[in-house]
Structure formats: C-alpha cells, structure tokens
Structure 1
Amino acid sequence: MRFKSLRKSNQVFIFAALLFAGLYYGAGLLVPLTFAVFFAALVLPVIYWLEKKTGIGKPFSSFLGTLLIFIGIGILLFFFVQQLGVFLQDIIESKDQIISYLRKVQLKAADVTGFSLQEQNKLLEESIMELLNMTQTYVSGILTGITGLVLNFLLVLILMFLVLLNRDKFEKFLMMYIKPERQEETKEVIQEARKVAYKYLWGRLQVMTILAALYLVLFTAYDLRHTGLLILFGALITIIPYIGPFISGTLPILFLIIFGGTVEEIISFTILIAIVQLIESYVLEPIIIGSEVEQSPLFIILAIILGGMLWGPAGFILFVPIFSMLKIVFDHTKGLEPVGYLLGNERPGSKENLMEKIKRKIGRKN
C-alpha cells in the first residue's frame, strides 16, 4: 500500500515536471495559440449572430471575426506606437527642463535636510542622467521590437482564423475520447469554460474602456503631458491583476512630478487616481465581470508569477483566465472538486455580483 502511494506521488511529480517543461519550451507555439483561442472566444457570439441572421458560411464568418480583431488591435497598436514616438522625442528635448526642475527640488531638500547641493549633485545628477538615457534606450528598444510584435500578431490572426474555422471539429475530436454517458456533461463544461473566457475578456474590455474615459477626464483637467500614451498604456496594463492597476496609477503621478506639477497638484492628483483605482477594482469589476470568473487572490498572484516564469509578459495576461477555465474543469471532474474549490474565492454571497445585490435590495423596497 505504501509502495503504491509513493508510486502515485512520483507519477504526479513527473507529470507536473513534464507539463512545466512543455509549457516553457513550447512557449513559441503555445503563446500565440492561446491568444488565438481567447480572441476566438471573444468574437464567437458575434460570429454565431452573423451566421444565424445572415446565413453566411463558416469560412466567411470566421474571416469577419478575425478581421474585427485585426482592426481593433491594429488601431490600438498604431496609436500606441505613435504616442510612444512622441514621448521619446519629448524626453530627448526636455532633458534640460527636467534637470532644472530636479535642481529646484534639490534646493528645497537642502533647506529642509541640510544636505548640501554638492553632495546631492554627486548622488542624484549622474543617476538621473543615467535614468533618462536608460529610458531612451528602453523606449527605442520597444520601437525596434515592433516588427517582431507585428509578425507575432499576424501569426495569432492566422491561428485564430483556423481555430474559428475548425471549432466544431475540435469539439467532435474531444468527444471521441469521452464515454457516451459523460458527453452531455462534457459539452456543458465546454460551454461554461467558453462563457467564462468570453465574460472575462469582454468584461475586461469594458472595464478598460470606462477606465480610459475616467483617465481622459482626470488627465485633461490637470493638463498632463502625453495624455494619449498614459491613457492607452494605463487602460491596457490593468488586464494584469494587482500589478497592472498599481503601474497604471503610479506612472501618471510620476509624469506630473517630472514635468513640473506643484505640490498641491501632485497631492490632489494622487488622491483622485486612488479614487479611480478603487472604483475600477471595487465597483466596475464586480458589476461588469461578475463573480463567475472570481478566483482566490492567492491563486491570481500565483498565476501571474507562474505565467511570467513560463511565458514572460504574455503569461501575466494569459494565466489568470487559464486558471479560471481550469477551475471550471476541476469543478466538474470527479476527485478534483477540492482543487476547484481551492482556486475559487468562496465568500458569503459570492454567487451574486454587486449589481444583482443592488437589484435585489431595490426589489425588496418595492
């Protein structure tokens, strides 16, 4: 009995090691394929609607769905690259202005702390210049890497079209390995996983759009420089839980400090950014995304870390919805229900999102 238990444990460890190795060394194929599957899930309701209302065939509807993603992401990529180029040029032209502003800060620091300007210059000026040069190099590297990004995007689009075109075939292939008495349950799991993927992606897109609108109002009110770049980057980066919102909120504050905001402006701007972040995290996400894709914060962080280790920046984005889909599979797989429970975020009333609670309370009053 003890030997069998040890053997089973070894098999689990070997399987886990092989799985991680496969994910790591197969990232070149798996990353674009996973993006293709998620994009396909995002446009699938539109494709079904087109096929039902217009009667067009699967190849043409799949092409239209792929074209929709191409246009949407292509527009975002174009504006992001354009704004990034403007920012790089501004950094080069504003070196003297930034250094002058920092020297004013040094004078104030010298009055408060007694730390002489000479000592401050020795510690800060070289590091600031190094930081500015590093920023230029980093941004230039991003612009240089745009070609590779475009090629990977085209690969994702090709894979997405093929996934959409063969979607029924993949489902039939899976059913060939499922016992007849479990096929109906398996179809329900597939539908639920597809729904979770769509709800997560579409919900995220809605949250990012509203957040971009809030940022636009706030940044315009403070006349913040490079508003377009900050809005695009700030909205897109929030797709990464916890880390994304922190970067999204910190970067505009740094821009206001670097480009000469007063102390009062910086304090009030920081407070308003914090309020926007709270609205995004505790109002928009619960209402729009809902509790269906809610996971334990611990496993969200683990998903981000593991995704970054295996797939780099793409893993930060992809592993959270992957874990959401795995939770659905575990919930419906005999013997793995405890793992699904562990991945979830069970709280009193967690089955009901904030909007549903509001409706229920209004209904009681009426």
Structure 2
Amino acid sequence: MKENIAAVSRWVIVLVGIPAAMYLGKTFLVTFFVAIVLAMVFSPVKDWLINKGLSRGWAVAACTVLLLLFFAGMGGLLYYQVSLLAQDLPQMEQKASEIFNSAQQYVDRRFGIAPDEQTEKASQVVSNMGTYAAVFFGSFTSTLANFLLMFAYFVLLLSHRREIEIFILRCVEPGRKELAHDLIYEARDTASQYVWGMLKDIAALAVIYCIGFLIGGIKYPILLAVIAALFSFLPYIGNIIGGGLAAVLAALSGDPSAFLIVVGVMTIAQLIENYALSPLLVGNAVGLNPMFSIVSIIVLGGIWGIGGAIVALPLTGILRVIFKFSPHTLPVVELMGDDAS
C-alpha cells in the first residue's frame, strides 16, 4: 500500500509539480536556461582560446564580447533596415487603408455585414489588442533587465564550468564517473551543434531569400530576408510567421503581386532548406524524433512562451542525454530518439 502511494506521489510530482514550478518560476528559469544553452555553445570556443594561450578569465571575456557583438550586429542591421522602411510608412498606411476598405466591401457583398458593423467589431478587437499591448509593453520594459541577467548567468556559468563539472562528478558513484563525464560533454555538444547549425542554416536561408527577393524586384530585400530567416529559429511555425510578416510588408511597400513573389521565393527556399541545408548544416543534432520535437515545443512554449519554444529542442536534447545515465530511463531515451540515432 505504501509503495503504491509513493508511486502515485512521484507521478503527481512529475506531471503536476514540475510543470507548476516551471510556470511559476518562468521569469527566472527562461533567462537562466537560455544562458545555460549559450554557455554550452561557447564552451568549445572557450577551450579553443585557452589552448591558444589565453587565461580562463580572458577566454570568458572574449566569448562574452563575441556574443555581445553578435547581438549588436543583428540589432544594428535591423535598426538600419527598419529606418529605411519608415520612409515609406505613409504610403504603406494608405495602401493598408485601401486594402481594408476593399475587404469591407467584399464582406458586405458576401456575408451581408455592413461596414459600420464590421468597424464596430474591429474596434472591439483593437481594444483587446490594446490591453495585450499594455501587457507586452510591461514585459518589453523588463527585457533589458532580463538580457543583462542572461549575460551575468552566461559569464558565471562559463567561468565556473570546471567547478560545476567537478561537483557533478563528485555526486556520482565511483564506477560511473567516466560515463557521467562523457555524458556531460555529449550534452554540451548537443546544444552546441544544434545552435551553431541553426545559425548557419538561418544565414544560408537569409542569403537565398535576399537573392530571390532581389530577382523578384521586392523592396527592402535585406530587411525582409532577415525577418523571414530569423523566425526560422522558432521550429515548425517560425517559417509561417516570418514568411507571412515578410509577405505582408512586401505587399504594403510595393505592388500586390509582391505578396505572391515572396510566398513563391520562400516556398522554393524551404524546399532547398528541408532537403539540402538542414540535413547538411543541422542534421539531427538533438537526437529527437519529430513527435517529441513537436511536443517539447508545444509544452515549453505553453509554459514559457516564445523563449521556451526557442530553447525547447536543445533543452529536450540535453534531457535525453541525461536520461542515458540511469538504466531505468534508457527506454525513455529510445522512445525520444529517432531511428537513426
């Protein structure tokens, strides 16, 4: 009887307690786990710099500067491109108004809903969006603080990586220390290979998008290519969101046919990415089958929002590596993995 109660209690903790703790602590946990993934990504870079003669402190500082330069470069590129787009903002607003009026007339003819009634319903939606925008703005104002905290965690994790590794090994039985050591580096390589592979994949996608948009005569090809490619970091649904946003911006800043051109370019690019770029640059770095990949994105995205969806695959891949340590969880490793892993 006691054993049954203990088993039920464990399942309650796993299925209810852990998700509840993740949700309640998401403000801290999202930032912290992003820092963990980034520290794993830059850990090989740190080792390479130390092998080249730098001290540990200077190697950590160099990795931090590289990460800062990456974010600054992406932010500067987007800011410059958006500043160019702002010059056409009045024309885009006028065109959006024309499209909205045409849509109102179509709905009136097709469904018999008068434009005044449509406007009233649209006003209700806008009012709700204003509430969401206020919430978003409140979150946005804390983004800088979270960003700085992420860098603090990143520096601390990278600086004390060796101490953390020693602590983990000391908690392991003597006969399993070698396995634990190998799994630590396998987890690091899982996160590192996935993130670096995704960055190369996104860069290649951005180049393909930009070339296609230039050939198609789309305005602001660099901005739209970067926007569409960056959303690819959000697995599965990112291409739809980024592509839709790029297509709408292209239609508003140019001819209506630009929408179809962008969709056509992205469709061709996605075929190239799915069958050539992704297998070559990313492969299956996390070792997850499609079912667990999708489930991890949905679950972590639901608990932690966009940040959770972005780090879902590397974190779940790391969790799969951790499960290899215990014989009791090896069946779960096989369940989570694909046929090739």
TM-score range, shorter chain: 0.7 to 0.9
Distance 2:209 2:124 in 1: 30
Q: Is the 8 A contact 1:207 1:284 kept in 2?
A: yes
Aligned counterpart in structure 1 of residue 244 of structure 2, from 242, 245, 250: 250
Q: Is the 8 A contact 1:81 1:143 kept in 2?
A: no
Q: Which moved more, 1:146-155 or 1:202-211?
A: 146-155
Q: How many residues align?
A: 341
Distance 2:297 2:92 in 1: 36
Partner of 1:43: 42
Partner of 1:296: 289
After TM superposition, list the pairs within 5 Å mapping 1:223-234 onto structure 2: 223-234=217-228
Secondary structure (helix, strand or coil) at the match of 2:142 reads helix
Secondary structure (helix, strand or coil) at the match of 1:34 reads helix
Asked if 1:60 corresponds to 2:53, the answer is no
Structure 1 residues 195 and 179, CA gap change in structure 2 (3 angstroms): same
TM-score, normalised to structure 2's length?
0.86
AA aligned opposite 1:324 = G
Partner of 1:344: 337
Partner of 1:355: none
AA aligned opposite 1:316 = A
Q: Is the 8 A contact 1:42 1:201 kept in 2?
A: yes
Give how far 1:87 is off.
4.9
After TM superposition, list the pairs within 5 Å mapping 1:309-324 onto structure 2: 309-324=302-317
Q: Which moved more, 1:84-93 or 1:176-185?
A: 84-93
Give how far 1:159 is off.
1.3
Give how far 1:280 is off.
1.8
Query: Deviations along 1:288-338, whole A, 9 cap, x unmatched?
Result: 112342422222222122112221221111122111111112234211111
Aligned counterpart in structure 2 of residue 98 of structure 1, from 85, 96, 99: 96
Secondary structure (helix, strand or coil) at the match of 1:115 reads helix
After TM superposition, list the pairs within 5 Å mapping 1:1-366 onto structure 2: 4-53=3-52, 55-84=53-82, 87=85, 90-91=88-89, 94-103=92-101, 115=109, 121-122=115-116, 147-263=141-257, 266-346=259-339, 350-351=340-341
Distance 1:44 1:35 in 2: 14
Q: Is the 8 A contact 2:197 2:281 kept in 1?
A: yes
Distance 2:140 2:205 in 1: 26
AA aligned opposite 1:275 = I
Distance 2:233 2:20 in 1: 26
Give how far 1:150 is off.
2.6
Distance 1:123 1:279 in 2: 45
Distance 2:230 2:63 in 1: 21
Distance 2:293 2:264 in 1: 27
The runs of 5 or more residues in structure 2 that have no matched partner are none
Identity of aligned residues (%): 26
Q: Is the 8 A contact 1:101 1:258 kept in 2?
A: no
Higher RCO (C-alpha 8 Å, min separation 6): 2
Distance 1:153 1:147 in 2: 11
Q: Which moved more, 1:208-217 or 1:17-26?
A: 17-26
Q: Is the 8 A contact 2:234 2:309 kept in 1?
A: yes
The runs of 5 or more residues in structure 1 that have no matched partner are 352-366
AA aligned opposite 1:45 = P
Structure 1 residues 84 and 141, CA gap change in structure 2 (3 angstroms): farther
Distance 2:14 2:111 in 1: 61
Query: Deviations along 1:162-184, whole A, 9 cap, x unmatched?
Result: 11111100000111110010000
TM-score, normalised to structure 1's length?
0.81
Q: Is the 8 A contact 1:101 1:260 kept in 2?
A: no
Distance 2:211 2:329 in 1: 47
Give how far 1:134 is off.
9.1
Secondary structure (helix, strand or coil) at the match of 1:336 reads helix
AA aligned opposite 2:71 = I
Q: Is the 8 A contact 1:106 1:117 kept in 2?
A: no
